[in-house]
Structure 1
Amino acid sequence: MRRRQLGMGALLAAIGTGVSSSGLGQTDSDLFFDDLPIVLTASRMAQSPLDAPAPVTVIDREAIDASGFTEIHDILRLAPGFLVADWPDGSPTIANHGVGDAYGRRIKVLVDGRTINNPLWGNVNWQDMPLRVDDIERIEVVRGPNGAAYGANAFQGVVNIITRATASESGAALIARVGEPNIRDVGVRLNSRGGTPLDWRITASRRTADNFDSYNEQSSESIVRKVLNSQFSAHLSPQDLIRLQFGVTAGVDRRGYPPATANNYPIRSEKLDESYLHVAWIRSFDAESEFSLQYYHQGRSVRGDWLAGKGNDPLVPANGDIDTTRDDLELQLTRRFNPQWHVLVGAGVRRDTAESERYFSTGRTIVARQWQTFGSVTWQPVQALSINAGGTFERHDYSGSLFSPRLAFNFALTENSALRLSTGIAYRAPSFMESDSFETLQNDGKILGIFYRAGLKVEPEKVRYSEIGYLARFPALGLNVDTRYFHERYSRYLDDQTCSYTSSRRACRVPPPENFANPPRSDRNFMFLNSGAFVMHGLELGVDWKVAGIGRALLSQAFVKIREDGYVPDASLVDSAPASLTSLLLIKELPQRWRFSLGYYHNSEMSWLNDGGKVPARDRFDIKLAKGFGATGSEDEFSITAQSLGGAYPEFHEESFRHEPRIFASLRLGW
């Protein structure tokens, strides 16, 4: 079996400094850009995908650049089985295979190992991250549950966004884009020159875009984002590395419904601020044994108020202010005892807070605490067999005690191919909204309407999964193949259901408050509850073919089916998985440093849940034509990108939203 397992400390040292490690015998470029790259995210240990206990797709820098994508969430279209959608009333959303809705709560997202999901809904505010696509080195996508490594909410997958090494560049760079609709983007990146104990990078940018025009008298969206991001890394000794990262985003969203249909959500401006701080210390004992300690903080603030009204009702003030924070402290120890045994143990504590008069009908701060311990043991009894057993035990204020185990077997068929069998359990803990929300519209002490309400005790969602995977590398052909069959059984599906305080047809299970208006302005309430079970199974295929002088082709294909396993009140859930999902990226290097790339993205008919709706089968084509210039090896480039060549297509809800075509020019200059 091709075995290149590495310790996280040695690995972070390589990432942070870009230098060779005597224990590794290779540079970070060798590690991550080989035909079969090292991955980090499957088990928290660096290892070959042939040894990984979970399926991992690596979207590398070449694929990211050739795709032409300038928004981070779009890059996940290249991962087998992943669904991506944007909508004008909130952040873009992602899902794996199906069960996708407006808030993308079932996938854990990391940046350099730190969790960035927002505690309010459990989603990711993709457009607001203090990070640019240009700062990303690669994205590792675990295409299935991974609670054994990351605990609750690593429920349908894990996305780990890994930024570019501080020492991989030097000097400065300017990146600018201009196009339609109203695309204006300029960024500056400054890097240390190297040769000093401290490596650093600072990026700053401002971008605007009109993401949605009002379609069918539905909502529109325009955004402005200012981003500052910085990273510093320093070797205190040959064994000790310190990394410091921090970033901020300041932005404005202009969104809402046109006057004819504005009801409670007219066109308005919302200001947002998002920030993070990440500090890590890594102590390496040898190439596969180390200790790490990291702390991170993230905060988000949204400010927006407007006058809400419906029909001939008088306008009343509405306030959408929200403040959330997360503080996380984590330690981890890995140890290679001998060639047969490799052990990882760790622990972490987390504190989340949320404050919003609108969403909780109180001025107090909502607090949730969590602690977890995790570990895994990898045993290689014979050269051709690797057995991984691991799990996470945790305690959360909203879910109680949970244990997420996994058992995986990796069989080496040849030096360049392996068969993987794995099974386990994962959970999704309720978010603040699902556990504590009481969203209201109030005026003069009267509650005029109740929207989301968490009045019932809810349990965490649960999935039991099993899969069989086959990975192979054919060096003579320049071909990598990754395929698997998966079977997942979900229970305690957590969703909201519509209820009424004035109708007995679907009466709310929780009585209305004493100050509830009679009659109310709105009597369409949404209560959270566990509501059914279902089974999801399917087949995935990933192909990466690269031949010097010819080009590169990356194919992702997934076939998915959902069936009820008992009563499921939302009939659209079964339709939330497209029967077929395809992406194809073709990259062709041309003479005189020209490059052409074509992206094709297809899904069969499907439905998005909760604020979404049915979308028909669709095919999207993107192209990018780029010309490199400057010194040999430089990244200086001018390009033209056209997205959605076939025109606007239904996005997230067939009757409400249209994804508009985009065309823009990009320029990157370094000095």
Structure 2
Amino acid sequence: MRFIPAAAILLVLLPSAAASGTRSEDDRTQPQDLKKLSIEELTQLDVTSVSRRPEPISRVAAAVSVIRAEDIRRSSSVILAEVMRLGDAVDVGRVNGRTWGISTRGFNISTANKLLVLVDGRSTYSGLFGGTFWDAQDAFLPDIDRIEVIRGPGGTIWGANAVNGVINVISKPSAQTQGTLVSVVGGFNERAVVSARYGDYLGSGHYRIYGKYRMREAQVTPSGDSTQDETQFGQAGFQYDSNQAAANRWFVTGALYRGTNGFADRDDADVAGGHLLGRWTRRTGSGEALSVLAFYDYSYRKVPLQFEGTKNTGEIDVQQQLNRGRHLLVIGGTARMSRFDDLGTAGFRFDPQVRTGWTATAFAQDEITLVRERAYATVGAKFGSNNYTGVEFQPNLRLRIHPSQKQMAWAAVSRAVRLPTRVDEDLRQLVPATGTVFLRGSEDFDPEAVIAYEGGYRVVPHPRVSVDVAAFVNDYDRLRSQELRFEPAPVVVLENRLNARTHGIELATTVQPATPWRVHASYAWLRESFTVDTGSTHRTGRTSEANDPGHMVSARSYLDLPRNFALDAILRFVGRRPSPAVKSYAELDLRLGWGPRPGWELSLVGQNLLHKRHAELFSPATPTWFPRSAFLRSAWTF
């Protein structure tokens, strides 16, 4: 039996002078204490990801949910990918100890490519396959202010690859994270997580630095044997914010990371990288603003028996907010360039090995007041050019109506595209002994496209109850297919001869039965159908395109108890996945929290408590199951 590491026990139980000190600035200077806000007040909190400007959730014509700092603190999550389970109607499936599939509104596989993920405005998009490598994306969780989750296309505002949704991770200002925070986690399966952060003044602004290191044990096979996929990951970074009251504001952040991922049949895989981002914003008294963002991102990945690759990306983004009477305008543009160098093996390579890709876009969006406080229309479009497919057009039209101050109905129609990637065009899979190519990409690969029809309704029928309903129909064209060709030997070519229609309903409600108790629940229903073009020989069925549950349910309970105790629970149900087949399952996470003194919090957490082990999302060749686990977490602020 594995035991909680001795160091973790020592750090948890050791009487600390720091723990007896005062609370840090993180606890003292929050602009709003979310624990004290009513449900009605929570619906008035601002989000920025829908239109690139602050607007209350109650006035957003999109399906959006927010994962707040308090939700993260009271969850069982220790890494960023796990936090995404807190989003309404977000399908999160672990493939193994190192790989996650995360998507909204379908198409969730280990290489899901229809969800755009941003961290403080920096895209984590991988030009290799079009999605996010979640094993290389982590964060110091206490520094996250909120995570905005948009379900539905975001191409007009955020560009290509925001096909089914956008996730935007937004950090707290450094002024809210002053002082020192130390956190230690140790337990079964979650072997150890040690992290620390320090914040202070710098000139007229504030800064913080942080570090995080984690070790996670291997998962298990269906019979309970080890899959040898243990992981280690370390990350360190900083953030600087200038005086937030000044007209000209600077935001600078950066990080470096390195990790290893275990395999049963080969040496460990290595990941490493870093980024540097800066943003300058100038605001005027009339609410207008000009913002310029630039970042550089480097990543390295080596997977034995597959490939070794590097990616260098630079991007600059400019946007202007304008108020013109009945018109609220946002205009801007983005230029991005990436260089890929991917060295394959005898059975796996990219041709060419080195490729440079670029995109340039311009967008404009106008919110028009039709009837003041009652009806609004939003019209927008993004024009983009890229080295793969040329010019792309991504428009959207949205309408929202407010029958009363506590009700809103909205509807939208949008178009979004997914651009080709290295896999789509440059991949070559070979028979190692002969060098014969049996699967390849295509230089003629077109962008995948969706036209989405959405609608929704939000209401606060009682000060202690809120309800959010959304429905959608998505029509997809030119999806990736695998076509058998003879050149003259048989070879599978990646082409665009698959089409799909998905439709679904999403429900969410928050109820506060009593002042110390809040419950949030969500439900998602999804149906998918696929067709192929005449003459297609597409051969994979649903395996490569969609393996999604028809039903998902999530319920979270937050209960404050006397004597600084708290009891939190997360119950989730995920319906069956058809192919590769995974049975439906329900799981429960529990957290018992205790604040023995100001600035010190202990948490006892149990994960996956309903089953000894269960599967979530896997390949038939390497099935991985995830066992019940428990850990102890101690956090000090001083």
TM-score normalized with structure 2 length: 0.88
Q: State yes or no: 1:572 paired with 2:532.
A: no
What are the superposed Cα offsets for residues 245-298 of structure 1, whole Å, 9 maximum, x if unpaired?
A: 000111111213xxxxxxxxx231122212111111101123520101110111
What are the superposed Cα offsets for residues 169-194 of structure 1, whole Å, 9 maximum, x if unpaired?
A: 221011000011252110111011x5
SS at match of 2:445: coil
* Counterpart residue number, 2:54: 46
What are the superposed Cα offsets for residues 635-662 of structure 1, whole Å, 9 maximum, x if unpaired?
A: x210111110122111213851212222
* Cα separation, 2, equivalents of 1:558 and 1:484: 10
SS at match of 1:433: helix
* Counterpart residue number, 1:135: 143
What are the superposed Cα offsets for residues 400-419 of structure 1, whole Å, 9 maximum, x if unpaired?
A: 21111111111011112110
Which residue, out of 344, 349, 353, partners 2:335? Answer: 349
Which amino acid is 1:485 matched to?
A
SS at match of 2:128: coil
* Counterpart residue number, 1:641: 605
Contact 2:222 2:625 in 1 (8 A): yes
* Cα separation, 1, equivalents of 2:524 and 2:572: 12
Which residue, out of 385, 407, 411, partners 1:417? Answer: 407
Moved more, 230-239 or 373-382: 230-239
The correspondence of residues 504-653 of structure 1 with structure 2, limited to 5 A, is: 507-510=484-487, 527-546=493-512, 548-566=514-532, 569-572=539-542, 576-607=547-578, 613-631=580-598, 634=599, 636-645=600-609, 646-653=611-618
* Cα separation, 2, equivalents of 1:76 and 1:199: 29
C-alpha displacement of 1:213: 2.9
* Cα separation, 2, equivalents of 1:191 and 1:400: 46
* Cα separation, 2, equivalents of 1:241 and 1:405: 31
SS at match of 1:571: coil
* Cα separation, 1, equivalents of 2:635 and 2:367: 44
Q: State yes or no: 1:63 paired with 2:76.
A: no
Contact 1:361 1:440 in 2 (8 A): no
SS at match of 2:59: coil
Which amino acid is 1:490 matched to?
Y
* Counterpart residue number, 2:311: 324
* Cα separation, 2, equivalents of 1:670 and 1:31: 19
* Counterpart residue number, 2:387: 397
SS at match of 2:420: coil
* Counterpart residue number, 2:217: 210
The correspondence of residues 67-466 of structure 1 with structure 2, limited to 5 A, is: 67-88=75-96, 91-129=99-137, 131-181=139-189, 183-192=191-200, 194=201, 196-215=203-222, 220-235=228-243, 238-256=246-264, 266-286=265-285, 288-305=287-304, 318=305, 320-338=307-325, 340-358=326-344, 360-361=349-350, 364-383=353-372, 384-440=374-430, 447-448=434-435, 450=437, 453-455=440-442, 457-466=444-453
Moved more, 64-73 or 84-93: 84-93
Aligned-residue Cα RMSD (Å) equals: 2.8
C-alpha displacement of 1:198: 2.0
* Counterpart residue number, 1:313: none
* Counterpart residue number, 2:10: none
* Cα separation, 1, equivalents of 2:340 and 2:275: 16
Moved more, 476-485 or 349-358: 476-485
* Cα separation, 2, equivalents of 1:450 and 1:218: 34
SS at match of 1:149: helix
* Counterpart residue number, 1:659: 626
Contact 1:130 1:229 in 2 (8 A): no
* Cα separation, 1, equivalents of 2:631 and 2:192: 9
C-alpha displacement of 1:470: 0.3
SS at match of 2:258: strand
Q: Which runs of 5+ in 1 are unaligned?
A: 1-16, 21-25, 257-265, 306-317, 498-506, 513-522
Bigger strand share:
2
SS at match of 1:572: coil
* Cα separation, 1, equivalents of 2:573 and 2:142: 26
Contact 1:575 1:606 in 2 (8 A): no
* Cα separation, 1, equivalents of 2:548 and 2:190: 33
* Counterpart residue number, 1:504: none
Contact 2:35 2:70 in 1 (8 A): no
C-alpha displacement of 1:376: 0.3
* CA shift in 2, pair 1:325/1:423, >3 Å: same
* CA shift in 2, pair 1:588/1:207, >3 Å: same
* CA shift in 2, pair 1:158/1:669, >3 Å: same
* CA shift in 2, pair 1:594/1:30, >3 Å: closer
Contact 1:145 1:155 in 2 (8 A): yes
C-alpha displacement of 1:211: 4.2
C-alpha displacement of 1:328: 0.6
* Cα separation, 1, equivalents of 2:97 and 2:70: 32
* Cα separation, 2, equivalents of 1:30 and 1:61: 9
* CA shift in 2, pair 1:82/1:419, >3 Å: same
C-alpha displacement of 1:377: 0.4
* Cα separation, 2, equivalents of 1:327 and 1:546: 46
Runs of at least 4 residues off by over 6 Å: 17-20, 28-33
Which amino acid is 2:248 matched to?
D
C-alpha displacement of 1:670: 1.2
* Counterpart residue number, 1:14: none
TM-score normalized with structure 1 length: 0.83
* Cα separation, 2, equivalents of 1:451 and 1:128: 30
* Counterpart residue number, 2:454: 467
Moved more, 205-214 or 530-539: 205-214
* Cα separation, 1, equivalents of 2:340 and 2:122: 19
* Cα separation, 2, equivalents of 1:535 and 1:88: 29
C-alpha displacement of 1:18: 12
What are the superposed Cα offsets for residues 619-644 of structure 1, whole Å, 9 maximum, x if unpaired?
A: 1111111102322xx4x210111110
Q: Percent identity?
A: 18
* CA shift in 2, pair 1:360/1:220, >3 Å: same
What are the superposed Cα offsets for residues 155-213 of structure 1, whole Å, 9 maximum, x if unpaired?
A: 00000011122111221011000011252110111011x59512111110211002423
